[in-house]
Structure 1
Amino acid sequence: MTYSFHLLGKPEVRRGTAVVEVGHARRLSVLAVLLVDVNQVVGIDKLLTRVWDGPPPRQAKAALYSYLSRLRTALDGTPIVRRSGGYVLEADPQTVDLHRFRALLGQGHPDEALALVRGEPFEGLHGEWFTSLRDTLAGEVAAAELDHVDARLAAGEHESLLPELTARTTGRPLDERLAGQLMRALAGAGRRSDALAHYARLRHRLADGLGLDPGPALRDLAASLDRPQWNPRFFPAPPKEIIGRERELAALDLDGPIVTITGPAATGKTGLALHWAHEHAADYPDGLLFADLSGRDPAAVVRELITALGTAPDGIPPEPHAQTALYRTLLADRRMLIVLDNAADTAQVVPLLPGTPRCRVVVTSRARLPGLVTAHGARPIVL
């Protein structure tokens, strides 16, 4: 059975579900130093300085050798090997929560990374090196929390995020990224005026306290929220007639925020979607949007739809994730119909979903798009 090593909280070693007794705090400190640089040689002088926090006492080297010997016994099967000039702990980095945390962040999974954090990293271990490492990790955890909130906002969790974001902004009132997240959550919850009021308070705090203006990303978001909404009809003309599709048209009448119309080429998928859309345009007072996805990058489609929603080109942020967030913010308190035509696969569609059940999305595709059905609750209509 393999060992797992936990540093993002009170340091701990487990073998399966059982906790392995490693010893006192200084012995744990030796283990933690080796785990931070797992599979790398850590020099003896570096070990001594980090564990004893500065120039070590005369007997420190003898004590270090004793700690290493006892760690080898406790971690039977996990090599701690003497190499030229130092020691190396050989283990799969994925068994060390610190390295798994950073790997998950690099893979874009902040939610899974945050689940590994059990408390203050290296709890109970003292010294300047551990303090500096804790500060570094605190910044990484805070950034992961912000990334996770961005993902939740993109998924439409505006209302549920408000208590959490309100508490965080109280503690960090000048954090512009956090302020932008709260503004997007407020707007998505139908509280656009509160979002703009929060921006005004932040702008005054920055001016009075630091003599600064908000950054361009936050100014763009405020401008988009303050811009009068208009109701676009960004839509092709309807087909001349639809024959023999009564069952499919009735299926489109059923409730559900996402519907897929799939089938082979030339079966009338687009015509069916447009016919139904024009027949029901009055049910969507905030407008109609249409995008042909044939071979297109969804990021380009997002920019096209943001423009259709009334945003000037200089008001569109440069980062793709910020563009998607702006797109969903603009749709958050609207009731609109969006037809996404000729989708290649689910991955092409997901960035274009509005994240609010008030909007209706009709997707046409030759593929069945099972990901939309299973992960997003789309209702399929097969021609």
Structure 2
Amino acid sequence: MRHTFHLLGPPEVRRGTAVVEVGHARRLSVLAVLLVDVNQVVGVDKLLARVWGDTPPRQVKAALYSYMSRLRSALDIPIVRRSGGYVLEADPQDVDLHRFRALVSHGRHDEALALVRGEPFEGLHGEWFASLRETLAGEIAAAELDHVDTLLAAGEHESLLPGLTTRASERPLDERLAGQLMRALIGADRRSDALAHYTSLRHRLADELGLDPGPALRDLAASLHRPQWNPSRFPPSPEAFTGMERELAALDQDAPIVTITGLAGAGKTRLALHWAHEHAADYPDGRLFADLGDRDPADVVREFITALGTTPDGIPPEPHAQTALYRTLLADRRMLVVLDNAADTAQVVPLLPGTARCRVIVTSRERLPGLVTAHGARPVVLG
């Protein structure tokens, strides 16, 4: 029966759903060291140092050999002596620590965070475990922030406010967290509260660290003072447009994202632009247009940020921060965004406003199933 190993909380081993009795904390520590480096040889000296520190007791190697024997017996899993050390052979996906890191690397932060049951390696002592615990606390906090960015992009401003407010009070100098709280407040139409939080953070940074907020946070605050720009970056309406009544009716249906797909020459761009010009009055805060082709979406994000009134020195250098700023600028606007000639879903996702108040029309020769399944896009197929 399959074993699963849990380190992101009180360490335990399960065989199926049953908890396996491993033994006292020292034996659990030996197991934990092997699981951290699963399928890799851990040298005896390294293992002893991690479990017992710099001053191991006499006869410590005899104790280690005894622990290994008891672990093999209790768990019935391969712990092999090899090349001056030991290796525990198991599927890394059965170890919550390694599964957590794999999920984070694939952007599946909600699933990764669901694996965390408490303080990692709870009850295990020593400098090595303390250092690893600190490292993992940072990884978990980063995954939480990344997950919040995803939820903010999806327009979950109101639901995030209680948790963000609590975390911001616990970590008052964390600028990324402060930016997230400000974006949630802006998206919830609480711009004055967002500005008040920035002012409080700015004073605290100056008093306690002698620092100013970073450029991304400064520009986010500056956007609260700027007049709302209403850009209109559209090609002219196509001349002599006729037909496509069924497709125009489909575009009239309420959906934050619509894909218009079909072969070259099917009239995708003409349809999108005709509808956009006919419905310009429905989007009083402006319209954005980009012919994507083979362009890097990060370049388009920067163009859109500039069109929305941000000066070049106010654009943060990191692509994820640029996308966050773009979505913040659109958070309380009603705008139409047309993304023409998209190559694939990945090219489009960074350009999604993340709010249902905006409308996005995407044209492509591809069907873009990722936009339909993951982002709820309504497909309109020509031809």
2:17 alignment partner AA:
T
Displacement of 1:170: 0.5
Does residue 1:70 correspond to 2:39, yes or no?
no
8 Å Cα contact 2:215-2:314 kept in structure 1: no
Q: Check conservation: 2:26, 2:51, Cα contact below 8 A.
A: yes
In the TM superposition, what is the alpha-carbon distance from 1:53 to its structure 2 partner?
A: 4.2
CA distance change for structure 1 residues 379 and 87 in 2, over 3 Å: closer, same or farther? closer
The 3-state SS of whatever aligns with 1:233 is coil
| 2:37 equivalent to 1:37 | yes
1:248 deviates by 2.2
Q: Cα offset for 1:190?
A: 1.9
Distance 1:57 1:144, change over 3 A: same
C-alpha distance in 2 between matches for 1:306 and 1:74: 60
Offset at 1:238?
0.6
Q: 1:137 to 1:374 in 2, by over 3 A?
A: closer
Q: Which residue of 2 aligns with 1:165?
A: 164
- Partner-residue secondary structure (3-state), 1:159: helix
Partner SS for 2:259: strand
1:165-184, aligned counterparts within 5 Å?
165-184=164-183
Deviation at 1:233, TM superposition (A): 1.2
- Distance in 1 between the 2:149 and 2:75 partners? 40
1:100-111 pair list within 5 angstroms: 100-111=99-110
Closer/same/farther in 2, CA of residues 122 and 272 from structure 1, 3 Å limit: same
Deviation at 1:54, TM superposition (A): 4.2
CA contact (8 A) 2:293 2:342 kept: yes
Mapped to 1, the partners of 2:86 and 2:369 lie a distance apart of 51
Q: Which residue of 2 aligns with 1:10?
A: 10
Relative to 1, partners in 2 of residues 1:358 and 1:117: Cα closer, same or farther, differing over 3 Å? same
Deviations 1:308-330 (A, max 9, x none): 11112221111111111111111
* Alpha carbons 1:154, 1:324 under 8 Å: kept: no
Q: Counterparts of 2:268 and 2:47 in 1: how far apart (Å)?
A: 67
**1:362 paired residue number:** 361
Question: Aligned partners of 2:193, 2:94: CA distance in 1, in Å?
Answer: 45
Tell me the equivalent position of 2:245.
Answer: 246
Q: 2:374 maps to what in 1?
A: 375
Cα gap change, 1:116/1:273 in structure 2, threshold over 3 Å: closer, same or farther?
A: same
Residue-pair matches, total? 382
Take 1:66 and 1:138, find their aligned partners in 2: how far apart are those partners?
Answer: 32
SS in 1 for 2:339: strand
Superposition deviation, residue 335 in structure 1: 0.7
Instruction: Flag the 1:256–1:39 CA change in 2: closer, same or farther, 3 A.
Output: closer
1:119 CA displacement: 0.8
Q: Contact 1:121 / 1:134 at 8 angstroms: preserved in 2?
A: yes
Report the Cα offset of residue 84 of structure 1: 4.2
| Pairs within 5 Å for 1:247-262 | 247-262=246-261
Q: Measure the CA separation in 1 of the matches of 2:209 and 2:54.
A: 37
Q: Secondary structure at the match of 2:229?
A: coil
Q: 1:291 is paired with a residue of what secondary structure?
A: strand
1:162 CA drift (Å): 0.9
Q: Relative to 1, partners in 2 of residues 1:58 and 1:318: Cα closer, same or farther, differing over 3 Å?
A: same
CA contact (8 A) 2:81 2:87 kept: yes
How far 1:225 moved relative to its partner? Answer: 3.1
Contact 2:216 2:314 (C-alpha < 8 Å) held by counterparts: no
C-alpha separation in 1, matches of 2:45 and 2:136: 24
2-structure distance, mates of 1:295, 1:172? 41
Matched, 1:314 2:304: no
Structure 1 residue runs of 4+, over 4 Å off? none
Percent of pairs identical after alignment?
84
SS in 2 for 1:363: strand
Per the TM alignment, residue 371 of structure 1 is displaced from its structure 2 partner at its CA by: 2.3
Secondary structure at the aligned position of 1:343 is classed as: coil
User: How much does 1:292 deviate?
Assistant: 1.0
CA distance in 2, matches of 1:153, 1:298: 19
| 1:341, distance to aligned residue in structure 2 (A) | 1.3
| Matched-pair contact (CA < 8 Å) for 2:7–2:96 | yes
Three-state SS of the structure 1 residue aligned to 2:363 is: strand
Superposition pairs for residues 1-383 of structure 1, below 5 Å? 1-76=1-76, 78-383=77-382
**Higher alpha-carbon deviation: 289-298 or 52-61:** 52-61
Q: Shift in Å at residue 347 of structure 1?
A: 2.0
Normalized against structure 1, the TM-score is what?
0.94
Tell me by how many angstroms 1:264 deviates: 2.0
Q: Distance in 1 between matches of 2:39 and 2:162?
A: 43
Distance 1:335 1:74, change over 3 A: same
* Partner Cα distance (1:71, 1:362) in 2: 59
For structure 2, the 5+ residue unaligned runs are none
> How far apart are residue 61 of structure 1 and its match?
2.9
User: Distance between the aligned counterparts of 1:370 and 1:234, measured in 2?
Assistant: 27
Q: Do the aligned partners of 2:153 and 2:355 also contact (CA within 8 Å) in 1?
A: no
CA separation in 2, counterparts of 1:108 and 1:373?
Answer: 19
Whole-Å Cα distance in 1 between the matches of residues 35 and 380 of structure 2? 54
